[in-house]
Amino acid sequence: MSELSPRMKALVQPTLVNFEPYDPNFSETKINLSANENTHVMPEQVKAAVLEALSAVELNRYPDPMANELRAEIAKWHNVSPENICVGNGGDELLFNFFVGFGGAGRTLLNCPPCFSEYDLFGSIVGTEILNIERDSETFEIDEEAALKAAKDVNLAIVTTPNNPTGDVISVDFVDSLCDACPGIVMVDEAYAEFNNPNFFCESLLKKHDNLIILHTFSKAFGLAGVRCGYIIAAPDIIDVFAAVRQVYSVNSLTQAAALAIVKNREAFREVIDDIKSERARIFAEISALEAEGLPIHVWPSEANFYLVRVKNAAEIHKALRDDYSILVRDFSRVPGLEGCLRITVGTRSENDELLAAIKSLLKEN
C-alpha cells in the first residue's frame, strides 16, 4: 500500500500525515505460513459445537455489548471475576482501545522493539509519544535494567511474551518489577501464551498489581483468527475504561457464540497445541542442522507458533517461496533491527515438510 495522497495529507489529523494503511502482505498461495494462524483443522467436536452455537444466534437482535455470557465463562476459566474481563473484536481492538483510553498527546509509551508493529502504529495514531528501548540486536533480549529505568517516567508500557516476531519470553519477575516501576498502566500481550509453558502466566501478578493488563486472543492457539475475538484481564476500574471507549456493539453475536463454544471446549485443543509444539521442535532442529552444514541461515529459539530466521538474500528467498513454491512467509527483511529476517509460522506436518524442502533447495541454489 502507498502513502496518503497529498490531498489527504492536507486534510487528516496532523499525527496521521506520514501514515500508510497497514498491509499484512497477503497473497494467494497454496500454503500460508505468514500470519501465525493455527493451520490445523479444528477438532471435530469443537467445530460441531461452534456450528450449533452459530445456528442458534438471533441475527435480528443487537449483540450483548459486554458479551456477558462469554465474559463469565472466560472469568471462570481464569479464576477471576467477570468484572476483570473485557472482550474485544480481536486483540487488535483492545490494543487500539488501550491507546484511546490511556495514550494520546502528552503521554509516553515504553515499547521494546522489534515487537508487534501495531503498538507503535496504534499509539502514534492517537498522538502517543513512543519511547523505544531496543532489544539486543543479536539475541533480541530486552535490556531489563534500561527498561525498568525508563518505565519510571512513562504513562504506559507494553511487553509481549512470547514476543512477536522474535519468539522469546520474559520472566514473571521482570513483569513484576515493571509494574512496580511504572506509575501508569502495563500491558502484557500474551497472544501466544498457550504455546509456551502453560505454567507461565502473569495472572499470578494481578492480585499484586492493579496497573497490569493481560491480553489474550482466540486467533492463535484456538484457531479463530477469522472470527475476531480477544480479551483482557485487569482490575475492574481498568475494565471500566475499556468499556467506556469501546464501540458498543463491536463484538458481534456470531463472534460471541463461537468464542463461547471454544472456551467451553478448550481442552479439546490440547492435542493440536502439542502437535504444533512438537513440529516447532522439529523445524528448529532441521533449520539448525542446515546452519551447522554451513548454509546461510540462522534460527532463533521460539516459544510461540512461529520462528524468526535470518537468511542470505531474504527478500529473494521470500519471493521464490511465494512464486515458485506457493508458500507464503512474512518478510521482515526491511524492518529496522530485523534485516535479513523472515518469520515462518509453524504449520501442519505436511506444510512444514514442504517449507523445509523448499528452503533447503533455495539455500543450496543460492
The distance from CA 29 to its chain's CA centroid, rounded to whole angstroms, is 22
Q: Other CB atoms closer than 10 Å to residue 140's CB: what's the count?
A: 21
For 238, residues 6+ apart whose C-beta sits below 8 A from its C-beta are 185, 210, 211, 213
Task: List the one residue out of 207, 215, 219 whose CA is nearest residue 255.
Answer: 219
Among 96, 99, 102, 116, binds ligand PMP (CB under 6 A): 116
For 258, residues 6+ apart whose C-beta sits below 8 A from its C-beta are 50, 53, 54, 224, 227, 229
Output the DSSP codes for 5-65: PHHHHHHS-GGGTT-----------SEE-SS----SPPPHHHHHHHHHHHHT--TTSPPPT
Residue span binding ligand PMP (CB under 6 A) among the ranges 11-19, 86-94, 206-214, 267-275: 86-94
**70 lies in the site for ligand PMP, by CB under 6 A:** no
**306 lies in the site for ligand PMP, by CB under 6 A:** no
Question: Would you state the torsion angle of the CA atoms of residues 177, 180, 181, 184, taken in this order, to the nearest 10 degrees?
Answer: 130
**Distance in Å, CB of 152 to ligand PMP, minimum:** 25
**Distance in Å, CB of 272 to ligand PMP, minimum:** 17
Residue span binding ligand PMP (CB under 6 A) among the ranges 1-9, 88-96, 143-151, 290-298: 88-96
Binding-residue pattern over the window 207 to 246 for ligand PMP, x denoting contact by CB under 6 A? ----------x-x-----x----x----------------
Residue span binding ligand PMP (CB under 6 A) among the ranges 14-22, 58-66, 84-92, 206-214: 84-92
Closer residue to ligand PMP, CB minimum distance, 15 or 117: 117
Backbone φ and ψ of 296, nearest 5°? -80, 70
**348 lies in the site for ligand PMP, by CB under 6 A:** no
**90 lies in the site for ligand PMP, by CB under 6 A:** yes
CB 139 within 8 A of CB 310: no
Among 191, 241, 257, 299, binds ligand PMP (CB under 6 A): 191
Closer residue to ligand PMP, CB minimum distance, 118 or 354: 118
Among 63, 82, 91, 347, binds ligand PMP (CB under 6 A): 91
**Distance in Å, CB of 304 to ligand PMP, minimum:** 9
Cell numbers representing residue 217 in the block: 486472543
**Region 266-305 residues binding ligand PMP, contact defined as CB under 6 A:** none
For 11, residues 6+ apart whose C-beta sits below 8 A from its C-beta are none
Closer residue to ligand PMP, CB minimum distance, 190 or 354: 190
Cell numbers representing residue 297 in the block: 541461515
3-state secondary structure of 231: strand
Give the number of residues in contact with ligand PMP, rule: CB under 6 A.
13
Q: Other CB atoms closer than 10 Å to residue 184's CB: what's the count?
A: 17
Q: Which residues pair with 186 in a beta bridge?
A: 157, 212
Closer residue to ligand PMP, CB minimum distance, 89 or 253: 89
Among 34, 39, 155, 160, binds ligand PMP (CB under 6 A): 160
Interface contacts to ligand PMP, rule CB under 6 A: 36, 90-92, 116, 160, 164, 189, 191, 217, 219, 225, 230
